């Protein structure tokens, strides 16, 4: 299985049909999914993409993630030293 880390830009491109990179990322995911592509992202990327997408596309992205479209790993900022 091949894992790919998704930043917010590709997440937006996957769901914003008017994005200039939409067709490329959509085709790439559709072509590689049957071959075991495993998409991974973080909560900060999901939050940023959700902020950038219109409500309908935001909901589609969150549904897709909820159905297992991408694994979301927790982001834990470093604890400041005292």
Write the DSSP string, the chain.
-EEEE--HHHHHHHH-TTSTTHHHHHHHHHHHGGGTEEEEEEHHHHHHHHHHS-HHHHHHHHHHHHTTSSEEE---PPPPP-
Average pLDDT over residues 12-34: 91
Condensed to tens digits (0 to 9), the pLDDT of residues 59-78 reads: 999 999 999 999 998 877 78
- What is this structure's pTM? 0.83
* Domain range annotation of the chain: 2-73
49 band by pLDDT with thresholds 50, 70 and 90: very high
The superfamily in CATH containing domain 2-73 is: 5'-nuclease (3.40.50.1010)
Mean pLDDT of the chain: 91
22 band by pLDDT with thresholds 50, 70 and 90: very high
**CB-based contacts of 26: which residues, under 8 Å, 6+ apart?**
13, 14
């Amino acid at each position: 299985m091949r894992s790919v880390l998704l930043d917010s830009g590709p997440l937006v491109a996957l769901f914003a049909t008017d994005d200039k990179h939409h067709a490329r990322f959509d085709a790439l995911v559709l072509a590689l999914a049957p071959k075991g592509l495993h998409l991974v992202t973080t909560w900060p990327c999901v939050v940023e993409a959700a902020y950038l997408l219109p409500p309908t596309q935001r909901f589609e992205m969150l549904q897709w993630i909820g159905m297992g479209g991408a694994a979301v790993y927790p982001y834990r900022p470093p604890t400041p030293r005292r």
